């Protein structure tokens, strides 16, 4: 299946972001497909964090829209927004992990919060996720 036949999992359309009167992003559009890796690069203050905050719905755009897995996150009702958020994970730099919890406990926290999985399944998921990040063996380390 070619990339043109696949449905994008993230769509940003004509995104416009402002802080007051200051225009930060204007007309940003792109698609991200399954198994693609998106890197957002740029100098300090160019709008990278602003773009990410819009993509996860922390900030409403001044214009345009963000669509995650076919659902508009822009202007979504609370229930829809929460359902969309369960499909993604975001880790902001600096202060993103609870320093009083181990890496395994930090990873397990949202799984325990949003699912009814038994402890054995949660532990298996934690091992899998840490392994994906080449952090197996560091489960009991603190951030």
pLDDT digits (tens, 9 = 90+) for 24-44: 999 999 999 988 988 888 888
- My answer on whether 66 and 15 are in the same domain is yes
pLDDT at 49: 87
- Tens of pLDDT, residue by residue over 50-72, are 998 899 888 899 999 999 999 99
Predicted TM-score (pTM) of the model is: 0.63
Task: Note whether residue 4 is domain-resident.
Answer: no
Residues 81 and 116 in one domain: no
Which ranges in 66-139 belong to alpha helices (H)? 78-85, 103-114, 119-132
> For residue 129, what are the domain limits?
91-137
Whether 106 and 142 have beta carbons less than 8 Å apart is answered as: no
Residue 69 lies in a domain: yes
Give me the helix-helix angle, 103-114 and 119-132, nearest 10°.
130
């Amino acid at each position: 299946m070619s990339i043109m036949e696949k449905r994008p999992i993230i769509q940003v359309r004509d995104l416009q972001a402002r802080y007051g009167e200051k225009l930060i992003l204007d007309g940003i559009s792109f698609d991200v497909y399954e198994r693609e890796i998106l890197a957002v690069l740029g100098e300090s203050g160019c709008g990278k964090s602003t773009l990410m905050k819009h993509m996860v719905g922390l900030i409403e755009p001044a214009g345009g829209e963000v669509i995650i897995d076919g659902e508009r996150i822009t202007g979504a009702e609370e229930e829809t927004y929460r359902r969309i958020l369960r499909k993604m994970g975001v880790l902001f730099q600096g202060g993103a992990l609870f320093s009083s919890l181990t890496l395994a406990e930090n990873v397990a926290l949202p799984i325990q919060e949003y699912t009814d999985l038994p402890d054995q399944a949660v532990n298996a998921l934690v091992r899998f996720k840490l392994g994906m990040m080449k952090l197996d063996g560091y489960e009991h380390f603190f951030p």
